[in-house]
Amino acid sequence: MGASGKDSGSSCIICSNIHKKTIHYMRCLKLCSICLEVFSDPVSTPCGHNFCKICLSTYWNNSQDCRCPNCKETFKQRPDLKINTTLRDVVDEHKKKCHEEQAEVVCDICSEGKLKAVKSCLVCQSSYCETHLEPHLRVSGLQKHKLIDPVKNLLDYICQKHDRPLGLFCRDDQTCVCLICTDGEHKNHNTVPLEEETEEKKIELLKAQTDVQQMIQDRIKKIQDIKHSAEFTRVSLNKPLKKFICYVFICFINNVVEFSDLMRSVERCQSELLEMMEEKQKAAEKHDEDVIKDLEQEITELKKRNIELEQISHTQHHLQLIQVPTSLSYAAIKVMDVTLDPDTAHPELILSDDEKQVRHGGIRHKLPDNPKRFDGYPIVLGKEGFSSGRFYYEVQVKGKTQWILGVVRESINRKEFITLTPVKGFWAVIMIIENYYLALGDPPVSLSLSVKPLKVGVFVDYEEGLVSFYDVDNRSHIYSFTDQSFTEKLYPYFCPGLNDKGKNPLIITPSLLDYISHNATRSTHVPICLEVFSDPVSTPCGHNFCKICLSTYWNNSQDCRCPNCKETFKQRPDLKINTTLRDLVDEHKKKTLERQSEAA
């Protein structure tokens, strides 16, 4: 493994030892559970979880204590967040691959001095320069071929099942299909031409870009406000000294005390006041500097996102806008078009005709009893359940004074009043009274929200055991149930609370969240043993190693330092498994075994 001394440390630099052949696409790159996007400047908490640096900084800035958003472990001191180099390289490699796919395409027919292609033919599965494209423009049979702007990987535009061009997009399954697919497994599905779907995606991208630009302006204004308030703070801190001077002057002119006593009092108190004022001033300035630093970092990240949106919105390649691997670094999830199931609705609930709204009617209606109907709490479920994958939906709660939202397992008790906890099959967040929110755990967790949500997003990762809630308009994380174990079908869950004079129903709304990233690349090798990570752990400086490798290295060293950057730690860090890297490694090993089996 590792040994003490300079030589063993220098042998741990990964870049000079790992060949390109070790770089593989990782099919299941983990997401930041705060923003639900692929990591941007990923950092690791001492408990082994990972987040975007900007997301975690913002989360902590808006929290009363410093705890992990995932497992809720509390840290006595706020960790110094440093970039996790391995995860950063994973994301960078993914972006690099995306750029390579957009590289210049050359003519497949030119024998020497290949010219730049001007079109690609999906039928011939070849790209042509202006000269060799001429037959497709002249010959009647070739004129019927599907021509697109030149692309490097033409196979991506061909249906692998029917060997036909992917000319349609199935909105039900969120995937590209060929014409033959619509006669088979996609029969009666909502399919549209790729061009039509592309135009809609461009509109959504434009809106997202506008939102990002507004967020940049909001943060710039906030920095200006902080700087303007700094002078006011300094004036406020001078008030105690001014009051004291006035008090001394009044005492002196009224002969309350002797002049010598006044001078001693002034000298004693002046020193204390000045010291107190300096401490408060420094604390205020430090706080302002930290907030401004975080805001400037947010602005930098938002500007990157704005550029990325700008580039993608101008691409002429339909699949780069529609398909997951090349779009915005978002991973695929299914955005649910939720409709409410009237067979499950409590007798006091009233559903709209389109089954998208629910309110409490205040009167119990006579309805046919069935095993699916709730008789205890005023609850209704969504019609569609799910037992795998990632799912997301949004609900408008604007104007409500009570509501409960979440997911439930299929076998829950629907006939009695029971405790709404994960043990009983409920994963939900509740607003009991206006501005008082709870996550219905065991025990319930009180939630402090700076802004009252108008629309709530619910995200479920079935395999990960994750249920997360988001304030959609404020773009902030509300709460997450993590490390849950799902063994049966889950259903969206809605409780509108008691009757609000028939107004303000819960409304299921369309979502602009269409996909979040699902792919990334990069080898996951540790720079001590040069093998794939085994039980990966992260150091405070952002580097990653096998747990046993790093432990052995430190056991054989006189001091506790990072084998990569040589940063020394005063106390030996408590090594906890980095869950994201562990899952990346597991996926890498699985893929390797699959390839070996195929080769055999």
The pLDDT mean for the chain works out to 75
Predicted confidence (pLDDT) at residue 68 exceeds the cutoff of 80: yes
DSSP output for 73-95: -B-SS-----B-HHHHHHHHHHH
Asked if residue 105 belongs to a domain, the reply is: no
Asked if residue 502 belongs to a domain, the reply is: yes
- Whether the full predicted model's pTM is greater than 0.85, yes or no, is no
Say yes or no: 155 and 201 in one domain: no
Say yes or no: 18 and 43 in one domain: yes
Question: Of 23-27, 258-262, 343-347, where does the model show the most confidence?
Answer: 343-347
Count of C-beta atoms within a 10 Å radius of residue 413:
12
Specify whether the CB–CB gap between 204 and 335 falls below 8 A. no
Look at residues 172, 192, 212 and tell me which one is the last residue of a structural domain.
192
Specify whether the CB–CB gap between 463 and 503 falls below 8 A. no
Predicted confidence (pLDDT) at residue 539 exceeds the cutoff of 60: yes
Reported as a single tens digit per residue, the pLDDT across 507-534 is 887 653 332 233 233 334 444 554 567 7
Reported as a single tens digit per residue, the pLDDT across 450-505 is 788 988 989 898 888 889 888 877 766 788 888 898 989 999 999 988 776 655 67
The whole-number average pLDDT for the span 210-224 is: 80
CATH number at residue 373: 2.60.120.920
**486 beta partners:** none
Lowest mean pLDDT among 210-214, 383-387, 477-481, 508-512: 508-512
Say yes or no: 222 and 262 in one domain: yes
The 3-state secondary structure of 419-466 reads CCCHHHCEEEEEEEECCEEEECCCCCEEECCCCCCCEEEEEEECCCCE
Model pLDDT, residue 206 = 79
Reported as a single tens digit per residue, the pLDDT across 30-67 is 567 777 667 788 898 988 888 888 888 888 887 788 98
Asked if residue 325 belongs to a domain, the reply is: no
The 3-state secondary structure of 232-253 reads HHHHHHHHHHHHHHHHHHHHHH
Say yes or no: 447 and 506 in one domain: yes
Specify whether the CB–CB gap between 409 and 489 falls below 8 A. yes
Say yes or no: 505 and 529 in one domain: no
Q: Total structural domains in the chain?
A: 4
Reported as a single tens digit per residue, the pLDDT across 288-329 is 777 777 777 777 777 776 776 676 666 656 665 554 322 333
Say yes or no: 174 and 262 in one domain: no
Say yes or no: 408 and 486 in one domain: yes
Look at residues 257, 279, 314 and tell me which one is the last residue of a structural domain.
314
Model pLDDT, residue 6 = 32
* Domain coverage including residue 210: 196-314
The whole-number average pLDDT for the span 387-404 is: 86
Say yes or no: 419 and 568 in one domain: no
**376 beta partners:** none
Calculate the alpha carbon distances from 326 to 38, 174, 248, 518 in Å. 13, 15, 73, 10
Say yes or no: 13 and 70 in one domain: yes
Specify whether the CB–CB gap between 563 and 553 falls below 8 A. yes
Model pLDDT, residue 1 = 36
Lowest mean pLDDT among 102-111, 211-220, 504-513, 575-584: 504-513
d(CA 207, CA 513): 12
The whole-number average pLDDT for the span 570-588 is: 79
Look at residues 314, 344, 375 and tell me which one is the last residue of a structural domain.
314
Say yes or no: 487 and 536 in one domain: no
